[in-house]
Structure 1
Amino acid sequence: KLYYYDLRERVLRSECRQQEEVYFQLAGYALQADHSDHPSDDHSQGHAVYFQPKEYFPPW
């Protein structure tokens, strides 16, 4: 877990703008690690917020 959190923090602090595709791939892995494969039924209906992009992507 510690490695995951360290890597996630490094991505959020990153300023390498040429790697947009990599950021999306890493965000997908992080979302799966944090929320598993599928959102619960609570999130599949309505307008519930599934995740906050600022928690998974560096500021652009």
Structure 2
Amino acid sequence: MQDFLTVPAFFLMIEGLVYAPAPRFFVQMARLLQSVAEQQIRAFGLAAVGPSIAFVRLLRG
């Protein structure tokens, strides 16, 4: 259960570290995302999940 609760904590920490130094950049990215097709965003998300799962499995053994 501790590992399960650690995941959202790390996610929030990383989000904060990404947004804090460059908030204007992310506002511009949000505007740009409106012009990207939903299928492209979904494909990018799925393409990120695969290697992430593999990396976690590698780290956790």
Normalised by the length of structure 1, the TM-score is: 0.35
- Identify the structure with the greater helix proportion: 2
Higher relative contact order (CA 8 A, sep 6+): 1
Larger gyration radius, structure 1 or structure 2: 2
